[in-house]
Amino acid sequence: AERRIELAMEGQRLFDLRRWGQAYAASTINAFVTTEKTRRNWLTGAETFGQRHMLFPIPQTQIDLSKVGGTPKLTQNTGW
């Protein structure tokens, strides 16, 4: 709770939730999205937080640059 208060409004919360694990992150973020959807009309299409959101997608340009002998050494993260 101390970290949450100390870093409030600094944009670190999502990264902390990801680091602490999917179950905690998903339940916390999905509860927030569900609540906010009822208050903000523009969030009606908001996506719920799932396993794919635990990792960012690797840019396709980086995957292409990682090719050695025509075979990429990087693979896209699951779900992206």
**Going by C-beta distance under 8 Å and a sequence separation of 6 or more, which residues neighbour residue 53?**
18, 25, 79
| Helix, strand and coil percent figures for the chain, each rounded to 5 | 55, 5, 40
- Percent of the chain residues topping a pLDDT of 90: 26
Domain extents for the chain? 2-49, 55-80
pTM given for the model: 0.53
CB 21 within 8 A of CB 34: no
What does the pLDDT look like over 33-52, one tens digit per residue? 777 777 777 766 667 777 77
